[in-house]
Structure 1
Amino acid sequence: MLVVDDNRVIRQLIRVNLELEGFEVVTAADGAECLDVVHDVCPDVVTLDVVMPRLDGLRTAERLREDPRTRHLPVAIVSACTQYEVESGLAAGVDAFLAKPFEPAELVRIVRQLMQRESPPPIDGRSGAGHAGSAWS
């Protein structure tokens, strides 16, 4: 797990809740740091805040999708989740959204759901239209 948020308290809150459920968590303070460490950490899931200095969460998600090494890495936005953030996040290839303030159990549920589909889904001709791989499906 790679947790990216510029607010130290929120980073720690997310980290503690996930570690209590047995996840190994690494944190980053912004999108630029995320891109610096993502290849060393090789996380199963990345959570991104949207509003961060240097490189925001939406542009970070876009860069993760542009890189063949991280293209299929599940990404969840943990933010205010305004309509703009959700629409821009979907366009950037974000897989799930969790609005702040959030229930820790909901965070854990989304992370578990994303981890279960960490590899690209098989192409069997049965998948319907829509946003394949959405954590909400």
Structure 2
Amino acid sequence: MVRVLAVDDDPTILRLLQVNLEMEGHDVLTADNGSAALDTIRAERPEVVLLDVMMPEMDGFAVCEQVRADPDIARTPIVFVSARAQQADLDRGYAIGGDAYITKPFDPVDLLETIERLAAGRR
């Protein structure tokens, strides 16, 4: 079981992520904006964060930058899950410290494999 934080401002996608991951036996936390994501990461210490890029208030890139700048949570694996699929977006995601970048629509099997690989690397 992996403790995963799914962050997306689209409630349908958030629910889809939650249901699919819970069906695979994972413990899923959710947040619908960047500020809530940061609070949850600091309080709950998820093993992997699934982070949408385009969100109101604070986008996923800004969340990632703040996580990487905080020594207490800097090693938290971050997987961008975004409809932004331009090479420049992927390059930026990796440049600021993302561990993986999966574009929507995503293959659930690929997502699960990525989560499990990153969680295993932390143990």
Q: So what's the TM-score if we normalise by structure 1?
A: 0.83
Aligned to 2:36: 33
**Structure 2 counterpart of 1:4, from 4, 7, 17:** 7
Aligned to 1:65: 68
Alpha-carbon RMSD across the aligned residues, in angstroms, is 1.0
**Structure 1 counterpart of 2:57, from 37, 54, 57:** 54
Query: Which ranges in structure 2 are unaligned for 5 or more consecutive residues?
Result: none
Where 1:117 maps in the other structure, the secondary structure is helix
Residue 9 of structure 1: how far off its partner (Å): 0.4
Count of aligned residue pairs for this structure pair: 119
Separation in structure 1 between the aligned mates of residue 39 and residue 75 of structure 2, nearest angstrom: 18
Conservation of the 8 A alpha-carbon contact between 1:4 and 1:11: yes
Separation in structure 2 between the aligned mates of residue 84 and residue 101 of structure 1, nearest angstrom: 18
Aligned to 1:96: 100
| Higher strand residue share | 2
Conservation of the 8 A alpha-carbon contact between 1:50 and 1:85: no
Query: Which ranges in structure 1 are unaligned for 5 or more consecutive residues?
Result: 120-137
Runs ≥4 in structure 1, deviation > 3 angstroms?
none
- Greater Cα offset, 25-34 or 83-92: 83-92
Where 2:27 maps in the other structure, the secondary structure is coil
Give the share of equivalent positions with the same residue, in percent.
40
**Structure 2 counterpart of 1:74, from 67, 72, 77:** 77
